Amino acid sequence: RGFWLLGFSHGSVLFNTVSSLSAVLLSVDCQSAVGVVGQTTEISCSFRKRFPDQSITITAVTVTKRGATGPVFQMNGKVQGDPRFNLPSRENPSLQITNTALSDEGLYEYVVVTNRGIIQDGTFRISVTANYSKPVMNSWPVKTADGGPADLYCNASGGYPSGTIHWFDGTGTNWTNRATLEITEGEDKLVHLSSRLSLTSIDSSWGEFRCVVLNSRFIPEGESTLRLRIMESCTCCSFRKSCTFQFCIG
């Protein structure tokens, strides 16, 4: 791994000696990164030096995703591989990925060649998330009577990993344990959340209902509110006429 950088077709005694010596004097530490789909991901890396006053310049790098057949990014005079990868500075081993995708998740091996030696054991991990869309709410029936039944629906899509939906009424009561949640994963691995809250007897004093979308870490990402449309009482019923769906039938 990394032999291409020096032009060797096989591991030589000289290469192994230089590599072992540089590993003692110089190493690279990278932090795990969490990227968001469509945004730029920063992979923070730094040199760990035996001598703090060393001036280090990067001359070449190779980034290989664990399990891949070849490097995803190479920089050795010219840049090759995925154009979304970038090494912003020749003095700093930190990397960037623009337009992050779910496929970027995984463990990476990082080889760095510098004027002070070769670092072969750099690694970092990328996790990727996607934000859910603002939830959309509706009810069935659209209008209901005070004391009548109704189903409330809340839908959000485009998120990753799987999240959940919580329900609250205007008084702050949590109705989540009365709701059912359906999770659907698309071909692009993005997740659609669909929750239904079935109420058997509406109480107008509950006020508006609120659904809150939480990501996989249970951090709220968005919410919407819906005020139930309560129909007025059927006044004609006092005249002993039958009432159906709050419409008087003589």
Instruction: Report DSSP state, residue 232.
Output: P
Q: Please compute the mean of the pLDDT values over residues 159-170 and round it to a whole number.
A: 97
Question: Measured between alpha carbons, how far is 43 from 65 in angstroms, rounded to an integer?
Answer: 14
pTM: 0.73
Task: Give the angle 209-210-215 at the CA atoms, nearest 5°.
Answer: 155
Lowest-pLDDT choice from 10-19, 24-33, 94-103, 223-232: 10-19
DSSP reduced 3-state for 197:
strand
Q: How confident is the model at residue 238 (pLDDT cuts 50, 70, 90)?
A: very low
What is the rounded CA–CA span in Å between residue 92 and residue 110? Answer: 13
Most confident of 25-34, 35-44, 196-205, 235-244: 35-44
Residue type, 93: P
pLDDT at residue 162 in the model: 96
pLDDT digit string, tens, across residues 108-132: 999 999 998 899 989 999 999 999 9
4 pLDDT band, cuts 50/70/90, is: very low
Nearest to 45 by CA among 36, 55, 58: 58
Answer whether residue 2 shows pLDDT above 70.
no
Contact 137, 113 (CB under 8 A): no
- Asked whether the predicted pLDDT for residue 142 surpasses 90, the reply is no
From 154, 65, 159, select the one nearest 110 (Cα to Cα): 65
- What burial letters (b/e) apply to 122-158, b meaning 16+ CB within 10 Å? bebebebbbbbbebebebeeeebbeebebebbbbbbe
Q: What is the mean pLDDT of the chain?
A: 85
User: From CA 215, how far away is CA 164, in angstroms rounded?
Assistant: 7
Q: What is the pLDDT of residue 55?
A: 86
